[in-house]
A and B are shown apart, each in its own frame.
Chain A
């Protein structure tokens, strides 16, 4: 039975799971000093200490109330009228945007995670040139999102862009006019999103893979499991829980992603590649209908809430354990 715990910060970073109440309370994290750990929660605070504790928590509590609770309440209030949703359904822009959102989240998240998982194994191979390629691979993560998306936009603009230019110069092919075709423009959005965010998750999976003990692989090799079989029967089962949690978190983030679609295809052709995030923005600021904008984004909540519930459950019942 393998019970290696993932404890790298990079990975913990991504995993709210680890903060589940029981985990924080229970003495499961091995402390450098063993005896006499007074875990928080054992004794009640009194007197000046209680006042200090309240003073220390107050700044964050204020931030949370002023910038999460209040705006979210305001959003619920703004989008509360049922007539807004009737208006959404009647709008010819809404349903395509909903379909795009589902496809975008489904494709971008799964491709990003699965390729990231595969690449994390590749990048751990002990070759100097692979380390060098890893450095280049991580550059997109550091480049500011807006600038990167604009670069994609110009690269694919039409026959004048870099991609079509290369196609013409090397293969003598007339490249497509990317942003004139709904699915090509959509694919461009997905590609830009993968380009920007895949490195991040690859690093997370690399950190996780490094915690898999070497002897597990040695044992697998004795049993003749190599290559694909080793991945399918050893690596993947060990990382499965982490993979699921990362995927769920990534769904939440990708659903809220605005910049990629807004700056790469910007909805072209004729607003057919909008997602709910950009459509909400379009309603709120281009059409000056803020309530409709909130309602458009809010209509993703039926998808969002199950994801949050599964995620919270996952984090309550299982600490991130291999």
Chain B
């Protein structure tokens, strides 16, 4: 028995004191992190639950004496200013988000199948070229996009935003799918080919079902990207085709906008991604913990 294994009295006491300070420190850090993370969320609820529209002031009560669901009612019933078309705006957000998700899954899975499952020479070059997309700042491309979408006949069209989002989501999608596809044995493809399956059949019957966890990650990523976007929607769409994200830009048009309803809309807007992530949580967690092997 070494001295380290059996510490003497004072050393043990010193160690337990040190452990107690560490625990206290982590409790303090937890409290700080909770305040840091939740304060802006709390502020959203504070404004959204305020009975007076346009009231963004803090009256000194952490727990305000009167709550009102007036803001939420205004959103759902569409009688708050700027939110008369809330359901239509939410529909537009959904249209952009879902079409981005579906198209990204399609484009990225096809490309990654060709790159990683078919014996193309130098195919991996495609992934590297695709990743160059991220070297160009999104704000650099948005100004030419504005002009180019006219050329493509997509000005003030939801598809213009979708196209932009698919462009930015696909490289990441291809990368993820390619990495994951390396875990699927090639023998499965070969067996199917021997039985006379075409490349398309291998893609549909073998590749897609086995890639489900990685496809779920790409789906969540692409939907969140489109859902979180403000810049492309604000630039490429007009008031006629507003999305929920764009309504927040009223900040600069009208300081007296009904902020309780605007914040309520913002809170409602956060729910769909949470729902998607919750629905796919098992797949996402499985992919996130797909930890490598020690070498």
Does A associate with B in a complex?
yes
Instruction: Select which of B40, B230, B235 is within 8 A of A146 by beta carbon.
Output: B230
Check B214 for interface membership: any CB of A closer than 8 A: yes
- B119 and A38: CB pair below 8 A? yes
Within 8 A of A (CB), among B154-210: 163-164, 166-167, 170-172, 174-176, 178-180, 182-187, 190, 198-200, 203
Given A8-B289, A63-B107, A195-B36, A40 and B141 contact (CB-CB distance below 8 Å): no
Given A20-B128, A78-B144, A294-B144, A151 and B40 contact (CB-CB distance below 8 Å): yes
Minimum distance in angstroms from B278 CB to a CB of chain A = 11
Total interface residues on A, CB under 8 Å, equals 115
Closest A-B pairs by Cβ, 6 of them: A7-B292, A256-B137, A165-B58, A147-B266, A33-B185, A24-B124
Instruction: Select which of A9, A49, A140 is within 8 A of B118 by beta carbon.
Output: A49
- A57 and B111: CB pair below 8 A? yes
- B293 and A5: CB pair below 8 A? yes
- B137 and A300: CB pair below 8 A? yes
Minimum distance in angstroms from B9 CB to a CB of chain A = 21
Instruction: Select which of B44, B146, B190, B229 is within 8 A of A147 by beta carbon.
Output: B44
Check B37 for interface membership: any CB of A closer than 8 A: yes
CB neighbours (8 Å) of B69 from chain A are: none
Instruction: Select which of B124, B134, B167, B200 is within 8 A of A63 by beta carbon.
Output: B167
Chain A 1-24: CB-based contact to B (< 8 A → 1; otherwise 0) = 001111111101100101111001
Instruction: Select which of B60, B143, B178, B249 is within 8 A of A280 by beta carbon.
Output: B143
CB neighbours (8 Å) of A302 from chain B are: none
A residues engaging B (CB < 8 A)?
3-10, 12-13, 16, 18-21, 24-25, 29-33, 36-38, 40-45, 48-49, 52-53, 56-57, 59-60, 63-64, 66-68, 70-72, 74-75, 78, 119, 122, 125, 127, 129-130, 133, 136-137, 139-140, 142-148, 150-155, 157, 160-162, 164-166, 168-169, 192, 195, 199, 203, 207, 210-211, 213, 249, 252-253, 255-256, 258-259, 262-263, 266, 276-277, 280-281, 284-285, 290, 293-294, 297-298, 300, 304, 308
Interface of B is mostly: helix
- A49 and B199: CB pair below 8 A? yes
A-B contact list, 19 entries, CB within 8 Å: A5-B293, A9-B176, A36-B186, A38-B190, A40-B116, A44-B121, A45-B120, A48-B198, A49-B199, A59-B110, A68-B141, A70-B148, A72-B141, A74-B147, A144-B227, A144-B228, A162-B58, A168-B60, A252-B135
- B143 and A133: CB pair below 8 A? no
Query: In the assembly, what is the distance between CA of A75 and CA of B145, in Å?
Result: 9
CB neighbours (8 Å) of A6 from chain B are: 292
- A169 and B290: CB pair below 8 A? no
- B172 and A304: CB pair below 8 A? no
CB neighbours (8 Å) of B252 from chain A are: 266
